[in-house]
Amino acid sequence: MFEIYVKLNSMNLEYQIAKKLSVNQALIQKTPKVEMGDYCLPCFMFAKEKKVSINVIIDEFKNKIKDDEMFIKAEQVGGYLNLFLNKQYVGEKILNDNTISVINKSGKNKVVCIDYCSVNLAKYLHIGHFTTTIIGESLARICEALGYNVVRINYAGDYGTPFGKMVVAYKLWGDKNDIENRGMDAIQDLYVKFCANENDELLEQARMASFQIENKKGEEYKIYKWIINITIDETKKLIGKMGITFDDWRGESTYNDKMEKPLEEINKMGLSKVENGALIIDMNKFGLGVCVLKRSDGGSLYITRDLSAVEDRYNLYHFDEMLYVTATQQNSHFAKLFKICELLNKPYAKNLKHIGYGMFSLPEGKIASRKGKQALFQDILNEAEEQAFNVVKDRNIEENKKQEISKSVAISSISFSILKVERIKDKIFDINKAVSFDGETGPYIQYTYARINSLIKKYKKQYKLQKFEMPQIDVKLFEILKLLTNYKSTIYQAKKSYEPSIISRYILELCKQFNAYYNETKIITENEKESAGKINFVIAVKKFLKNV
């Protein structure tokens, strides 16, 4: 069977150079232009520290590498030492080293729980769920790449008066067959009908139904569980289209009867007091205002359930980190939650992190929702898929694959629109731009990957050479190889800052540089050995794109 063996390298060039010069890696910088060298080292601080001239310091550094095969030469440019690498020698080292795709498993034997998506089972998934779902899943995969055991949690909203309203609506106007046939659409229609006819009598019935649900009693609870199971199944299918599954679907109702324990702990520590009938913690001295734990009518709040949930998750999963992926509007909520855990001396208090993000919206009037004012998750997917099909329908693609490719392009266009921008920033999703195969888009990356596969396929038809060959490493190819050596540090940095856009920018740069090389270089030539070397380099790039 035809096979090309590609070995990849784990050596980060900045690290290797710093090691040879005995300096901090952070000091090694890329030169502004390739003709000025590959990297440079500012030498001002060394001269100042040793109280000698720049020339003396630069000569010392030159002597450290003068017989090293890694370097062609080193030149002084002002107060900098510019380093010119032996491209063929270093490039071969990069391609011959077989560990670049093996990331140091810093997360081995560690558990990270990630709470994201947080679907409200009383409503459709809408545009607001895209950001939390995509960022949360990206962080989950980053952590898995580093060896963490990841627990994906969808903390479903399955508690409160809306469910009482749904149950009452079903008892008054519902049709079992209609719900089993139309699912969420039928359930939502009933909810809308309840709201349209809402009056004091109906609200009282809804409150009574909610009471039954909370106490897991009667016909109301059975109807509620039936509706919940239908909505969870439909939500799983919808999210599954994005290639995402969750390990834990336990929602707010799980902690309905577990909220007294944290309140007792807080009271025992003397942290709480009653004010105007409500149970509160005064957190003004921490700059967090007042935290209400229980309303004056005895009703619980999110903070109380979250205190129960985090304790339960720690006991169940023994997490090393607990990440909450929600909008920045919840900064205050999580600051209070984390501070309370700290005041209670919880062992996990320092391992809780809120991963905030900006809003994800559409240009005005671009997508009409089937229900209400907010564009629905499903509507956006459908529209993106339709737009993607319009792009691929006239391309030279097998007819039976166009629909499948359209779905893939639609998902990548939405996902990458979120991931390419720093998570804290607001994002506007313009479908026409997002599904384009040009520019900084998901389809552009997919197109690059498809181009690489096409090259490999073409090579296999022309040659049968199985032996590994080295390419002739020119400036453009070497710039790409240098970028490949930053693979591990890019993953690390993305995890350290919980910022998927770091990886997105890396992928875009890799694709840009590869396409520039492709456009200026004939990769498959009449020379079999030359072609084999270049195709091995192409496969190296493919492996990286596949991994990230």
Domains of the chain listed by start with CATH number:
13-96 (3.30.1360.70), 111-157+251-357 (3.40.50.620), 161-240 (no CATH)
Q: Please report, for residues 33, 224, 256, the alpha-carbon distance to residue 168 in angstroms, rounded to integers and kept in the order given.
A: 70, 10, 21
**6 pLDDT band (50/70/90 cuts)?**
very low
Range with the poorest average pLDDT among 129-133, 245-249, 405-409, 430-434: 430-434
Q: What is the mean pLDDT of residues 1-24?
A: 67
How far apart, in whole angstroms, are the C-alpha atoms of residue 267 and residue 304? 13
Q: Which residue has the higher pLDDT, 340 or 546?
A: 340
Q: What is the mean pLDDT of residues 516-543?
A: 92
8 A C-beta contact, residue 9 and residue 93: yes
Round the average pLDDT of the chain to a whole number and report it: 89
8 A C-beta contact, residue 472 and residue 425: no
548 SS3 class:
coil
Task: Output b/e per residue, 236-272; b: 16+ Cβ within 10 A.
Answer: eebbeebebebebbbbbbbbbeebeebbebbeeeebb
Fill in the DSSP letter of residue 41.
E
Residue 214: what pLDDT? 85
The residues, any chain, with a CB within 8 Å of residue 207's CB and separated by 6 or more, are 161, 164
Q: Within 10 Å of residue 292's Cβ, how many Cβ atoms?
A: 16
Range with the poorest average pLDDT among 312-326, 377-391, 512-526: 377-391
Token couple for 124: 């459709």
Residue 15: what pLDDT? 87
Fill in the DSSP letter of residue 508.
H
8 A C-beta contact, residue 34 and residue 475: yes
State pLDDT tens for residues 267-316.
999 999 999 999 999 999 999 999 999 888 776 788 999 999 999 999 99
**Backbone phi, then psi, for 178, in 5-degree steps?**
-60, -45
Reply yes or no on whether the pLDDT at 123 is more than 50.
yes
299 alpha-carbon distance from chain centroid: 35
Residue 9: what pLDDT? 37
Percent of the chain with pLDDT over 70: 93
Reply yes or no on whether the pLDDT at 465 is more than 80.
no
Reply yes or no on whether the pLDDT at 3 is more than 50.
no
Q: What is the mean pLDDT of residues 238-265?
A: 92
Residue 4: what pLDDT? 35
The residues, any chain, with a CB within 8 Å of residue 439's CB and separated by 6 or more, are 433
8 A C-beta contact, residue 54 and residue 61: no
8 A C-beta contact, residue 323 and residue 112: yes
Amino acid at 355: I
What is the C-alpha end-to-end distance of the chain, expressed in Å?
27
The residues, any chain, with a CB within 8 Å of residue 460's CB and separated by 6 or more, are 2
How far apart, in whole angstroms, are the C-alpha atoms of residue 432 and residue 8? 37
Token couple for 544: 């990286």
